[in-house]
């Protein structure tokens, strides 16, 4: 069975969206400030997609098709990860509006604290053995 025209239309649209939005859009390329500091941009990507179509009754001798498609993409910078001297911190560009945003913002500090606790406990464990 031959491919319906709307399948080709939707396939091309989806392929174009894949070209526009990939992981490097969300987590940007690292920016090396100096030998010890790297900044990594983080963005929020949202997109919408719409499609349409039309056809005529099967009795028509002429193949007719109407179509339409559309997509919208929004890329908003939301934060920077700053890696410096073995520590990672988040610099947010937008207000923390949800519990998820607050948790994400607190993660680097939490990782630093846990790492410090592990480093502090290791000499005590080896000294007791």
pLDDT digits (tens, 9 = 90+) for 55-113: 766 666 666 777 777 777 788 888 888 988 888 888 888 766 677 777 777 777 777 78
Residue 35 sits in the same domain as residue 66? yes
**C-beta contacts of 83-92 below 8 A and 24+ residues apart:** 83/37, 83/38, 83/39, 83/40, 84/36, 84/37, 84/38, 85/36, 85/37, 87/112, 88/112
Residue 58 sits in the same domain as residue 38? yes
DSSP H helices, 5-129, are: 5-20, 23-26, 99-128
d(CA 55, CA 120): 71
What range does the domain containing 35 cover?
A: 5-94
Residue 90 sits in the same domain as residue 100? no
Please say if the pLDDT value at position 4 is more than 80: no
Find the radius of gyration of the CA atoms of the chain: 25
Residue 47 sits in the same domain as residue 82? yes
Cβ pair 5, 67 in contact under 8 A: yes
Residue 19 sits in the same domain as residue 54? yes
Residue 67 sits in the same domain as residue 108? no
Residue 69 sits in the same domain as residue 18? yes
Q: pLDDT category, 129, cuts 50, 70, 90?
A: very low
Question: How many independent structural domains does the chain possess?
Answer: 2
Residue 54 sits in the same domain as residue 64? yes
């Amino acid at each position: 069975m031959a491919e319906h025209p709307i399948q080709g239309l939707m396939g091309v649209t989806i392929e174009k969206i894949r070209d526009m939005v990939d992981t490097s859009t969300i987590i940007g390329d690292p920016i090396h400030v100096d030998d010890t500091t790297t900044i990594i941009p983080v963005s929020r990507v949202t997109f919408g997609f719409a499609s349409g179509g039309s056809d005529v009754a099967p009795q028509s001798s002429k193949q007719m098709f109407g179509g339409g498609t559309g997509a919208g993409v929004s890329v908003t910078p939301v934060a920077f990860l700053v890696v410096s001297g073995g520590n990672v911190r988040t610099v947010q560009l937008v207000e923390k509006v949800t519990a998820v945003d607050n948790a994400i913002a607190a993660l680097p500090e939490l990782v630093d604290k846990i790492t410090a606790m592990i480093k502090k406990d290791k000499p005590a464990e080896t000294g007791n053995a």
